[in-house]
Chains A and B, each alone.
Chain A
């Protein structure tokens, strides 16, 4: 992998890298706990149980990016990698329709033309797909945002396929994490990846990888890191999603964003409307 940094770049690669990907600085300031941290090259992890708004947030970010500048968008391209057939195109179209001042089929199709979708059916396929997408990042400098929903979809299947050795079980995901980190740094992308909370709070420690609770504040956030170390190290921001279960505010959600190096924490509330996520 390090040898790749030493190989000579072709002219197009150089231009693509330096020409700069348009700034995603304003993509969604609420998600970044540390205002000074650079947006490009950032890897953010969305973590939370089912129904807490992670995928809605991804639609919100996608819409922000693919809408034209005249409608308040950033007019950049997005690559959405879907590992569990979760992506709902019709929902995204509804979000776009509500955000456009004049929505017509033409405009919607034009926006959707900036979105590329990839479906992966196994972690090995995910890894190979990331390798083959490298040419895409090279040749399209307007592609700035990479979304991966979700990284934990193959977790149980990988654990069984790897036999008894934990290293073998995690090896493909480890390679994926390292490759993602390399791609995001080299091509100055922003990566949003979701991981599902699939571990029980009080399960035995033999069930998952040993959870070192050296972060006492995480206990209240019900977070059990179960993915490989390589991924834990690659993530710069971790954002936890919660749903509020009171009957009168059944639509309220909140997120806690933590910048892992500086340990800054921010909490925000949001609701989900027809037009997508709306911060309160």
Chain B
């Protein structure tokens, strides 16, 4: 999208491009916003041809409106709610992770973000028999820990092996690698017919702060633009592929008040649909979701995570 060139759309010949360029009309936007009668006179092109060209360009490059009822039908069939495998977390998240959305886990160091991601991976791979893509950007993923979680779920080694095969781990240590990875993912999913081992349902990015925060700070806008580009890629990935995207984020101190707040700033705060906070001192998780009232809290017991039985120690605490 952008510059006019021959063959960009049917009816746009090299001669037309040259004539238009000589009159200062170089991009699609220039042509669409120009007064076509004037252009026809100045360039010697036929008004009808220009009007037709404008219509074709608009049809090709503008977004198409969807009817609300059709969209609702489509969403009803394609949206899935995936349980995280942790009962109290499911309650916080309004039954679980929604496909088509980005969910964010925020917490300080050692609060259990990677642990939650590993539990979700184990549950989705073993309990729901679906594929997981784990994008690791700070080296927190260990296969032995996942194996432990699976061993706690089932003693059958074949089942464990099957579940392990459904979890794909990739490492991306800077933002460009991560963006490439997402592009590659789209490519492979587009080509593949759904394999017998299940379809991709969850993409976990642990953590997004590790690749973005080195870019922020100072007067550079490029960092913010890259962050927003990553945000856009993640959201379109969730929407187009029908997967639940889970990202983890760190905490940072507010410059003025000194209070802890999620990192990556205000622009990022608009990106996830649901954000929940893990606080290790109180052992609670508080959520901020566009669906649920904010401020819900739940007690989660670290020791019992990953097991499929309900432990009597789990408590619920709603505000």
Contact = CB atoms under 8 A, between A and B. Distances in A.
A19 to B, nearest CB: 22
Interface of B: 1-2, 28-29, 32-33, 35, 37-38, 57-59, 61-69, 71-73, 75, 79, 219, 221-222, 224-225, 227-229, 232, 235-236, 238-239, 255-256, 265-267, 269-271, 273, 288, 290-291, 293-295, 319
A29 interface: no
Contact of B291 (A3, A90, A160, A197): A90
A91 B290 contact: yes
Given A160-B222, A196-B267, A109 B69 contact: yes
A4 B229 CA distance: 35
Contact of A159 (B33, B221, B294): B221
Interface string A74-97: 000001000011101111010000
B62 A114 contact: no
Contacts of A156: 221, 224-225, 227-228, 267
A119 interface: yes
A120 B29 contact: no
B266 A89 contact: no
Contact of B266 (A110, A157, A197, A207): A197
A160 B69 contact: no
A124 interface: yes
A124 B1 contact: yes
30 contacts: A1-B33, A3-B35, A4-B35, A86-B270, A88-B291, A89-B68, A89-B71, A89-B75, A109-B69, A109-B72, A110-B69, A112-B69, A112-B72, A113-B68, A114-B68, A115-B68, A117-B66, A120-B63, A121-B63, A122-B1, A124-B1, A124-B28, A125-B61, A129-B62, A131-B32, A131-B33, A200-B266, A202-B255, A250-B294, A272-B293
A109 B74 CA distance: 12
B72 A55 contact: no
| Main SS at interface, chain B | helix
A190 interface: no
Nearest to B54: A131
A202 B288 CA distance: 25
B1 A125 contact: yes
Contacts, number: 157
A88 B73 CA distance: 14
B219 A91 contact: no
Contact of B29 (A128, A132, A159): A128
A157 B176 CA distance: 16
A153 B319 CA distance: 32
A55 B266 contact: no
Interface of A: 1, 3-4, 7, 49-51, 55, 66, 79, 84-86, 88-91, 93, 108-122, 124-125, 127-129, 131-133, 136, 150, 153, 156-157, 159-161, 172, 175, 179, 196-202, 204, 206-207, 247, 250-251, 272
A119 B63 contact: yes
Contact of A89 (B29, B32, B65, B72): B72
A contact patch SS: mixed
Contact of A117 (B29, B65, B221, B227): B65
A55 B294 CA distance: 14
B288 A113 contact: no
Contacts of B69: 109-110, 112-113, 115
A225 B221 CA distance: 17
A165 to B, nearest CB: 13
Contacts of A202: 255-256
Nearest to A113: B69
A132 B239 contact: no
Contact of B236 (A7, A118, A121, A132): A121
Contacts of A200: 255, 265-266
A172 B32 CA distance: 13
Nearest to A247: B319
Contacts of A159: 221, 225
Contacts of B269: 49-51
Nearest to A133: B65
A247 B297 CA distance: 12
B65 A118 contact: yes
A250 B319 contact: yes
A111 B294 CA distance: 28
B67 A113 contact: yes
Given A116-B66, A127-B29, 20 more contacts: A3-B37, A49-B266, A86-B270, A88-B273, A88-B291, A91-B291, A110-B69, A115-B67, A117-B67, A124-B1, A125-B1, A125-B62, A128-B1, A128-B57, A131-B58, A133-B65, A156-B224, A175-B29, A198-B266, A206-B219
Nearest to B290: A88
Given A128-B32, A132-B58, A251 B293 contact: yes
A193 B68 CA distance: 19
Contacts of A132: 58-59, 62
Contact of A128 (B28, B75, B79, B294): B28
A230 B66 CA distance: 29
A250 B61 contact: no
Contacts of A110: 69
A103 to B, nearest CB: 13
Given A128-B58, A175-B29, A84 B270 contact: yes
A124 B2 contact: yes
A79 B295 CA distance: 32
Contacts of B228: 153, 156-157
Nearest to B222: A160
Nearest 8 pairs of A and B residues by beta carbon: A115-B68, A112-B68, A160-B225, A129-B62, A132-B58, A132-B62, A50-B269, A128-B62
